[in-house]
Structure 1
Amino acid sequence: MMRTRPLKVALLGCGVVGSEVARIMTTHADDLAARIGAPVELAGVAVRRPDKVRGGVPAELITTDATALVKRGDIDVVVEVIGGIEPARTLITTAFEHGASVVSANKALLAQDGASLYAAAEQHGQDLYYEAAVAGAIPLIRPLRESLAGDKINRVMGIVNGTTNFILDKMDTSGAGYSEALDEATALGYAEADPTADVEAFDAAAKAAILAGIAFHTRVRLDDVYREGMTEVTAADFASAKEMGCTIKLLAICERAADGGSVTARVHPAMIPLSHPLASVREAYNAVFVEAEAAGQLMFYGPGAGGSPTASAVLGDVVAVCRNRLNEATGPGESAYTQLPVSSMGEVVTRYHISLDVADKPGVLAQVATVFAEHGVSIDTVRQQGKDGEASLVVVTHRAPDAALSGTVEALRKLDTVRGVASIMRVEGE
């Protein structure tokens, strides 16, 4: 039987995502009630600009006092979609203190301070759900936390930022340069006026920290994630990738060491073979490839951003949290029992694609090969093309520690015969 007293939801933020949450709660009220077992009522909406027109949200629900809203005491679920560190952190912990569970899409806060949020939720017997924080509408957090809870995950690799994937896809398919592709992404609304968080991989790094923490049952913070943006990727890099049967993606990669004693988390552009499932992810879509010991290889794919897709994930969490409240239970909390150390990027074993501008004269290749040998890096393939006293030398290595590869590049820069290092790109997914 359905309970007649409604579960009350407070919404913090009513922008692109928040307005869609409010709309779906209103238009799908009967369906949500049937799925939960009780009506769900939007009890208040905290905003910064109360005079802004917000279609579908009753004016009497609008408030600028978010603190008073979460302190009411009759709120069952607080949905936080304002983003940033403060006041979001204080509002979330205040909600826990006053008897409300929290659904958040705040990747930056969870990556930086997830442990304290989990602790506050546990202390007050509340839920903390955040499916929308990583990959928009794609169900990913819950499968990792619940469906694969009995398995051992060894690797999570994926495209977790739609803006950067759109830009790189346009560079790949049309031959456009970075600036041209970024302008198109901005015109279509995929990129913000200030795209720094996306193109410099801050957004993806926060998501990588969250994914690594869940996958490996250990605490991984944003500062633990190696981050490299994609602004230096060129049309020439894509041409080289095509010659290798590859394309270029900005990847978030979280791995457990072969001996199981540590983990790594990193975000950077990489060449991946066209045969890899992630290579076919186009436009602004996201996809995450999971490798588990028993389940094998799994891929999660779909729209990773936007008002409606993200609101879908938020409402999925709202339904789960409301069901828990009706059953007087809570869902899974933090699982960090392994307490594995996070290794530095230098310890990651990977391959490099290095493009050098060199003098076109005898002995240059031998000099370059000697540098690689001195740093313990084995060469897989070499391609050289010369013209008018200059030459382009492309070297693809075998797998080696990233520190050895970085040391090799620095030594190459010091050779008199090397005019410059035109491009450095890691090779993944093989």
Structure 2
Amino acid sequence: MKPVKVGLLGLGTVGTGVVRLVEGHQNDLQSQVGSPIVIERVLVQNKSKLRNISIDASKLTEDPWEIVNDPTIDVIVEVMGGINHTKEFILEALAQGKHVVTANKDLMAMHGPEILAKAKEHRCDVMYEASVAGGIPIIRTLIEGFSSDRITKIMGIVNGTTNYILTKMSGEGASYADVLKEAQELGYAEADPTSDVEGLDAARKMTILSSIGFRTNVALEDVTVQGISSVSKEDILYASRLGYNVKLLGIAESQDGQISVSVQPTMVKQSHPIASVNGVFNAVYVFGEAVGETMFYGAGAGELPTATSIVADLVAVVKNLKLGVNGQQGVTAYKEKKLKTDDQISSKYFLLLHVEDRAGVLARITQVFAEFEVSLESVLQQPSPSNPQAEIIVITHDANKAAMNKVLHTFESLDVIRKVKSVYRVEG
């Protein structure tokens, strides 16, 4: 049996996991694909570095082009990260007829359509399951499992760092700054956490999921993004009192061929399954017209969970290779992209207002909501021991985004409102 030879670009945490699984599960892999799978060459930054895995030194290289241009290599597995240089390597590998498995969410969010078109041109496979939600097989599920259905909504916790921070804030009453510092010390958050806490990482993942789920090319700039750095202990406390948990959610919706995609802190009813997803775990909720509600839960990162998705993609590529059907999975983005306008995006909203503590304030506020046809589900007014003004909490019925923007703009000039402290979407 002729072995299938793999070039591995990167030997960090995930690359090490790929080597462990391929070498440790060789008998299982051979039984599935009918031939050995061999890690032939490995790209590293420093060949002399001590590693926690045994690997033949002759397989290591510091030059990525040695792997890309090696005619004996059948599949490139890319786990090195980065965008511009990595894109160059992958496009050249595809041009040479090599198949590609990648975990690179940034690359696929920014240049996915170009890479997939190049793969189709050269009858190659590009698999990228590990680019979203680590070990959860969500991409393959959207492509294959929902192929006979029409997806109307994808809602997910797709960033473990922010979920860990919000879980700790909720469980311990700690501040955002304190929990972020702890997450950095534990290695859950980077020294520069901007990509995670400002929602950029989640936005890239939602770009990928919505493109696949809605069969159209969603660009990163189509995603409305708000991070968690402004979420306060006060917000968490009030959410809990009202029966909600605060989660950073990616939300993609499709209705009548028009879509919206956003990432934002959201109050989720505690009875909704996604509200109980805590710590660094991820979950993706998918609603199909035929199947109804489904949810997929698991480890969103880590050496072996992510490597599991990569090796599963590798097995799929090799199976296609044996059948001679590489590059025939088709381009999923066949629908014209139509984005919803603000008056077509609808949800419930939570507002926390700091107001003057005097008669008639509530009437003035409700008058503004009525003016823009936003109906109210509940209103709670109470004094705050930490605030000389009163606090009013409002939860609306479904309201369109354009109307809510008009409400908030009017509140800015309303003399009885000292501050619009918080505004959150409400789900569940």
Instruction: After TM superposition, list the pairs within 5 Å mapping 1:30-69 onto structure 2.
Output: 30-54=27-51, 55-69=53-67
What is the CA distance between 1:368 and its match in structure 2? 1.2
Aligned to 1:99: 97
Match for residue 265 of structure 1? 261
Task: Report the equivalent of 2:373.
Answer: 376
TM-score (norm: length of structure 1)? 0.96
C-alpha displacement at 1:323, in angstroms? 0.9
Whether the 8 Å contact between 1:346 and 1:402 is mirrored in structure 2 is yes
The structural deviation recorded for 1:58 is 1.6
CA distance in 2, matches of 1:324, 1:413: 59
For 1:159 and 1:344, how far apart are their aligned partners in 2? 24
| Superposition deviation, residue 346 in structure 1 | 5.8
- Cα contact 1:274–1:280 (8 A) shared by 2: yes
Distance apart, 1:369 and its partner CA:
1.4
Q: Corresponding residue for 1:327?
A: 323
Q: In the aligned structure 2, how far is the partner of 1:86 from the partner of 1:52?
A: 26
SS in structure 1 at match of 2:187? coil
The share of aligned pairs that are identical, in percent, is 43
Say how many residue pairs are matched.
424
- 1:414 is displaced (CA, Å) by 1.4
User: What corresponds to 1:421 in structure 2?
Assistant: 420
Query: Which ranges of structure 1 fall in alignment gaps of 5 or more residues?
Result: none
The offset of 1:29, in angstroms, is 1.9
Instruction: Give a deviation string over 1:129-188, Cα, whole Å, max 9, x none.
Output: 011001100111111101210111111111111111111111111111111211222222
Q: Secondary structure at the match of 2:132?
A: helix
What residue identity is the alignment partner of 1:401? N
| 1:324 aligned partner, one-letter code | N
Partner of 1:304: 300
Separation of aligned partners in 1, 2:373 and 2:69: 61
Q: Which residue of 1 aligns with 2:400?
A: 401
* SS of match in other structure, 1:57: coil
Report how far residue 270 of structure 1 moved. Answer: 0.3
325, 330, 333: which one aligns with 1:336:
333
Amino acid at match of 1:269: P
What is the CA distance between 1:344 and its match in structure 2?
Answer: 4.6
TM-score by length of 2: 0.96
Task: Give the direction of change, closer, same or farther, for the CA distance of 1:118–1:243 in structure 2 (3 Å limit).
Answer: same
Alpha carbon RMSD of aligned pairs, Å?
1.4
Residues 5-404 of structure 1 mapped to structure 2, 5 A cutoff: 5-54=2-51, 55-257=53-255, 260-330=256-326, 332-344=329-341, 347-386=344-383, 390-404=389-403
Q: Distance in 2 between matches of 1:7 and 1:23?
A: 17
AA aligned to 2:33 is I
Deviation at 1:68, TM superposition (A): 2.7
Cα distance, 1:36 vs. partner?
1.2
Contact kept, 8 Å, 2:245 with 2:275, in 1: the verdict is yes
For residues 12-57 of structure 1, give each alpha carbon's deviation from its aligned partner in whole angstroms, at most 9, with x where no partner exists: 1111101111122122222212221111111111122333223222
Q: Distance in 1 between matches of 2:56 and 2:176?
A: 44
Stretches (4+) displaced over 4 A:
none
SS at match of 1:238: helix
Contact 1:266 1:345 in 2 (8 A): no
Distance 2:62 2:34 in 1: 31
Distance 2:192 2:344 in 1: 33
SS in 2 for 1:240: helix
Give me the whole-angstrom Cα distance separating, in 2, the residues matched to 1:126 and 1:169: 42
For 1:187 and 1:428, locate their aligned partners in 2 and report how far apart those are by CA, in whole Å.
32
Cα deviation digits, residues 304-326 of structure 1 (max 9, x gap): 00111100100000011011111
> Residue 407 of structure 1: CA displacement?
2.1
